[in-house]
Amino acid sequence: MTLPKLLMLDEPSLGLAPLIVKDIFHTIAEINRAGTTVLLVEQNTRQALALSRRGYVVENGSVALVGSSEELLGNEHVRRAYLGL
pLDDT of residue 2: 79
In a domain, 50, yes or no: yes
Model pLDDT for residues 14-63, shown as the tens digit of each residue: 999 999 999 999 999 999 999 999 999 998 988 999 999 999 999 899 99
pLDDT of residue 3: 82
Measured CA to CA, the distance from residue 48 to residue 39 in angstroms comes to: 10
Categorize the per-residue pLDDT at 1 as very low, low, confident or very high, splitting at 50, 70 and 90: low
pLDDT of residue 85: 74
CA-CA-CA-CA torsion sign (14, 16, 40, 84): positive
Domain CATH for 61: 3.40.50.300
In a domain, 1, yes or no: no
Pairing between strand 54-59 and 62-68? Answer: antiparallel
pLDDT of residue 61: 93
The tally of domains found in the chain comes to 1
pLDDT of residue 42: 94
In a domain, 77, yes or no: yes
Domain housing 49: 6-81
Backbone torsions φ then ψ of 29, nearest 5 degrees: -60, -40
